[in-house]
Structure 1
């Protein structure tokens, strides 16, 4: 079955950010996310999930294990399990990206202060 933001399961997270489940199973999760301007998620890590963040449009900043990385369209970064990370949109435009998790990150998140 063909999948897109138009027919995928949608949810709201964080500061009015959108997410669409493109693939949603225990072994693999692919989510298309959209963060409004000047928003961020909470710093966290995953006990088992390895993640890959890939920017579709806009400019994102991600902190991975204390290092800040700026990601432009068509760029990505891998985050291994147990590594603290936090996504930011510090720009004045929305940012759209894919989050690919293996296995799924559902129920696997541990928040860091």
Structure 2
């Protein structure tokens, strides 16, 4: 299913970070996470390209509901294991929110629509 830009979240994660996210999801009831695990596994294939630096963050796209489920799943793991990733995700979301607000303000000022 296609989602509009407003319904998706673009994250940049390293292989280690995406593995931690998958680990958290695996602990959840299968019927609620199997689709997102499949999507994340498909997107993680980019880490296994010959030219890819696994320490370099790669784009991962999630819809809002899947992102919410990921955050809830991370919240069930020990704090010391996930606090760095949660902080990193918060920084990315804050940056996206600021950018979206600025874009909206620019479009309003010029009379265009995003």
Question: How high is the TM-score relative to the length of structure 1?
Answer: 0.31
Q: Which has the higher helix share?
A: 2
Decide which structure has greater strand share: 1
- Which structure: larger Rg? 2
